[in-house]
Amino acid sequence: MYSELQQIDIDHHFTPFSDNKELADNGSRVITHAKGVYIYDENGNKLLDAMAGLWCVNLGYGRQELVDVATAQMTELPYYNLFFKTTHAPAAKLAEKITSLAPAHMNKVFFTGSGSEANDTVFRMVRRFWDLEGKPSKKTFISRENAYHGSTVVGASLGGMGYMHEQGDLPIAGVEHIDQPYYFKEGDGLTPEAFGIKAAQSLEAKILELGEENIAAFIAEPFQGAGGVIVPPTTYWPEIKRILAKYDILLVVDEVISGFGRTGEWFASQYYDLTPDLMPIAKGLSSGYLPIGGVIVGDRVATTLIEKGGDFNHGFTYSGHPVAASVALKNIELLEAEGVVERVKNDISPYLQKRWLELAEHPIVGETRGLGMVAGLELVKDKTTKERIAPECKAGGVCRDYSMANGLIMRPCGDTMIISPPLVISHAEVDELIEKAKKTLDQTAEFYNLL
């Protein structure tokens, strides 16, 4: 009944973000290989990966150039650490390349193995910064409900996911959460513009409540990813900027999903005209081919940490791992050489968004939204009342299962279906994605007798 691999997996593998007991009933899908925007499973199914893995395979699967550079680096220097006054070419050159693409005031990169470790690094850097500035009371981070910043203790604490907090007494002390700019769910009666201002002003209310002298930083994703591709109203970021300018609080823009071209700019901070003090990165940095993350550090924080800080007692065994760093560097060089980011902006993102908008016509879709190469839609029973189809957001899971059966990977976040395809997806593949999504919506509606 199970394949050999499924059985081994059930017996020995404790899998992340899954109900391991339920998995034992059904077995996991075994992925065998991948090419372009498609992945293949051991039953011979071909699936259009409209999530680019976990938002990361920006260049698509099967790029031999990345394999070759990894092989060469493995041969030359497979590993050496960066602690205690050493470095190597892959880390130094990658840092140079990243900062050449980042906003002009950001000129240093601290490397980590993942996005979660990047946010742990942010946490330590920011607190160290304020200590060195002689303001040790500035310790508290303000984040947002339904944010995602990773799964380590700090990452999950900074995140705003209740289902993560309840497992392990999180968040830790020193993290506070404010409203998210989720218009579809929480906009009741307001215009999107008015709601954007209102959601942003919960930041100012929290600052006044806790006292500016106690607040270290505000951290946010430019658009929320794992929360359900929540794109803030146009008024939101300008109002956040206005508030932050009034108080001396650092801005951390979590670019783990949005970095490396997903918005049609290298970073979403450029898309939204933000001036972050710190930008955690990972995912698209290496197109997911090897694990690597980092924090891009703005001049203000870097100068204090370097000029006044002495040793910074933080780092990871695999910080700037030479093989991962050389693959990341080649990944960025390919994005540049092939004009991938410009193509997102001028060609494939407008096309994807235009076609995704067609899904808004469907009887069980309450809203579609998106920017760059991310998009989401809300499953509803009634377009006007926004009543959900089934209790506990069960319709999202049903929709996902139909989507998989149709050869399309869409991800449910509750009753929001989301996509974040490889940036290199072709027009014909976007057409296939939309056709399969339409069929999936029809089947979901039929399942609930809503057609």
Ligand X SMILES: *Cc1c(COP(=O)(O)O)cnc(C)c1O
Q: What is the CA radius of gyration of the chain?
A: 22
Decide whether 119 or 263 has the Cβ nearer to ligand X.
119
Amino acid in the structure at residue 447: F
Report CA torsion sign: 285, 286, 288, 290. negative
Taking the C-alpha atoms of residue 276 and residue 278, their distance in angstroms, rounded to an integer, is: 5
Beta strands in 212-301 (DSSP E): 215-220, 250-253, 278-281, 293-298
Amino acid in the structure at residue 106: M
**Segment interacting with ligand X (CB under 6 A) among 252-260, 337-345, 396-404, 406-414:** 252-260
**Segment interacting with ligand X (CB under 6 A) among 109-117, 352-360, 398-406, 418-426:** 109-117
Binding status of residue 53 toward ligand X by CB under 6 A: no
Nearest to ligand X by Cβ — which residue? 115
Burial grade of 392 (CB within 10 A; 0-12, 13-18, 19 or more) = exposed
Q: Which of 69, 199, 226, 268 binds ligand X (CB under 6 A)?
A: 226
Binding status of residue 216 toward ligand X by CB under 6 A: no
The pair of three-digit structure tokens given for residue 419, joined into one six-digit string: 């996509």
CB 222 within 8 A of CB 147: no
**Segment interacting with ligand X (CB under 6 A) among 162-170, 199-207, 221-229, 332-340:** 221-229
Q: Which of 6, 114, 331, 349 binds ligand X (CB under 6 A)?
A: 114
Binding status of residue 49 toward ligand X by CB under 6 A: no
Q: C-alpha distances in angstroms, 316 versus 123, 158, 206?
A: 15, 20, 33
Distance of CA 76 to the CA centre of its chain: 32
Question: 50 by DSSP, 3-state: which?
Answer: coil
Report CA torsion sign: 142, 144, 148, 153. positive
* DSSP 8-state symbol, 346: I
Size of the site for ligand X (CB under 6 A): 17
Give the shortest CB-282-to-ligand X separation in angstroms. 4
**Pattern 275-314, ligand X, x by CB under 6 A:** -------xx---------x---------------------
The pair of three-digit structure tokens given for residue 299, joined into one six-digit string: 């001049």
**Segment interacting with ligand X (CB under 6 A) among 10-18, 143-151, 323-331, 375-383:** 143-151
Binding status of residue 254 toward ligand X by CB under 6 A: yes
Q: Which residues contact 8 (CB under 8 A, 6 or more apart)?
A: none
**Pattern 174-213, ligand X, x by CB under 6 A:** ----------------------------------------
Binding status of residue 221 toward ligand X by CB under 6 A: yes
**Segment interacting with ligand X (CB under 6 A) among 147-155, 195-203, 207-215, 320-328:** 147-155
Binding status of residue 257 toward ligand X by CB under 6 A: yes
Give the residues lining the site for ligand X (CB under 6 A).
114-116, 119, 148-150, 155, 221, 225-226, 254, 256-257, 282-283, 293
